[in-house]
Amino acid sequence: MSNNLLSEKLCYNGSSATPTHLHLCSYNAEGMTELTGDTFEKIKEGLAPNAINWLQVHGLRDTGTIANVCAHFDIDFLVAQDILNAYHPTKAEEHDEYIVFILKIFHPLASPKDEEDGDDGPEMAAELGQQQVSVILGNNYVLTFVENETNFFDDVNVALENDVLKIRTRPTDYLLSVLLNSVMANYRSSIIDVSDALEDLEERLLSISGGKGIGVEIQTLRRQYMLIKKAVLPLREQYVNLQRSPGALIHKANRPFFNDVNDHLQFVLQTIDICRETLSSLVDLYISNNDLRMNDIMKRLTVVSTIFIPLTFLVGVWGMNFKLMPELDWRYGYLFAWLLMGAIGMAVYLFFKKKKWY
């Protein structure tokens, strides 16, 4: 990865093919207006100085449009680079005139199917996909940058249209708290899905007939856990520091809403810790089950080998080329040999049964 401090150009490094387009929602207590366009110049005139302007940018391929948006709202060049960096770590950062959130949201990918098994066993855990969401709070504006075309914030749009809980009469920071709550709800549902899958996997491991592919499922859930952990863990301290900041962008009257966001964040963090412990115990349990299964196989093989040891001895004795062996000329010698070997084999088997070694 190149040094971004040595570059004067903005560059999107993600994989999304969504063309850049914008959706502007300007609202106040009197009403709301919406405007859409594929360039910032087409919606720039719709920005209302006496209203709250929520500008949604979908698709980050057109770096020129992103640069124009950031330049209009006096967003720092390094922040614009962070917005276009699809692999940027999660952060919550306060500047003099605005607050920046670089966040991740998750969505399940197609569930993998076990092609080897034709039964209707439990489905394997689905892989988890993510995309970056950047949120910037200013004095009378909120900017959201999303990599793909998504309906993630559609419920917030509906709430603004219907003026739910008098949302249009509240200041800009309240809209930020609502957006953050949507992100936290996404984190909450994602980590709960991982936690439930781990519990189901634990029950299968503790059952007598543990299914196939459990090791693969553990690794899939571990990847999901690590993905969520990397996205949420940086917020543990950064969000708390932001809450305690004396900045004027977050009003005292709205701090309870940000405390509610923090409650959801703490729940996610606690569940992440629980999942870490569960994953560790599942790996130990999986290894122990494999050892027990291997020991059982070795025990069965040992019993079979032990049964055949005396039989092999008898066959070896009668296979020696000595002339004076009475059994060779006896009419019932062959039958006697079979009966003797069967009796010895059965006796050894019953002995193992009595000792509960088999």
Per-residue pLDDT reduced to its tens digit, 147-161: 998 889 999 999 999
Residue 20 burial by CB count (10 A; 0-12/13-18/19+): exposed, middle or buried? buried
If pLDDT is split at 50, 70 and 90, which confidence band does 108 have?
confident
Residue with tokens 């996404």: 186
If pLDDT is split at 50, 70 and 90, which confidence band does 111 have?
low
Which of 67, 68, 83, 62 has its CA nearest to residue 20? 62
Tell me the pTM.
0.80
Which of 130, 131, 137 has its CA nearest to residue 55? 137
The tokens describing 353, both together, are 């049964």
Alpha-carbon distance of 227 to 231, in angstroms, equals 6
If pLDDT is split at 50, 70 and 90, which confidence band does 125 have?
low
Q: What's the pLDDT at 9?
A: 85
Spacing of C-alpha 319 from chain mean position: 66
Can you list the domains of the chain with their CATH numbers? Answer: 4-291 (3.30.460.20), 295-354 (1.20.58)
Strand ranges (E), the chain: 21-27, 32-37, 52-58, 91-94, 99-108, 128-137, 141-146
236-260 burial: b if 16+ Cβ within 10 Å, else e: eebbeebeeeeeebbeeebeebbee
Spacing of C-alpha 25 from chain mean position: 32
Instruction: Report the first-to-last Cα separation within the chain, whole angstroms.
Output: 60
Q: What's the pLDDT at 115?
A: 43
Q: What's the pLDDT at 118?
A: 47
Is residue 327 within 8 A of residue 337, CB to CB? The reply is: yes
How many residues make up the chain in this entry? 358
Query: Range with the lowest mean pLDDT among 10-24, 29-43, 213-227?
Result: 213-227
